[in-house]
Amino acid sequence: MAVADTYADGVLYTAQPMEVSDVAELARLFEGRHKESLAATHEGVDIQRDNNIRAGWAARALIAYASHLGGQSLVDELETVTGDLLGDLLHLFDALGLDWEEIRERGERFHREEVLGDV
């Protein structure tokens, strides 16, 4: 989801780019890094840092998913693996009786607020 770049103060706090082409590279990028917590680092003080941490959480989830699948999933293009993960999440939502549209809208709203610094 793209966020309009016409916010009042002109600043978007998008996560720092990660220059990787597959999950194996992403895993190497995070290898040896400690897990970060917003609770321990005073969420809201540095919005850019907070969003970098959030992107890191999602990266670790994607790494865990691809590692669980193993083999080709680690070197497939990121679009392929993320699409597979999203599809499998939809199956999980079905099994749990969760409303995908409601969850997606909530996620997009949270993302927009965090990128715009409205947290």
- At 12-36, the pLDDT tens digits run 999 999 999 999 999 999 999 888 8
Q: What is the pTM of this model?
A: 0.85
pLDDT tens column, 67-95: 998 877 788 889 999 999 999 999 999 99
Average pLDDT for residues 105-114, to the nearest whole number?
A: 97
pLDDT confidence bin for 3, thresholds 50/70/90: low
71 closest CA partner among 58, 84, 89, 59: 84
65 closest CA partner among 26, 101, 20, 105: 26
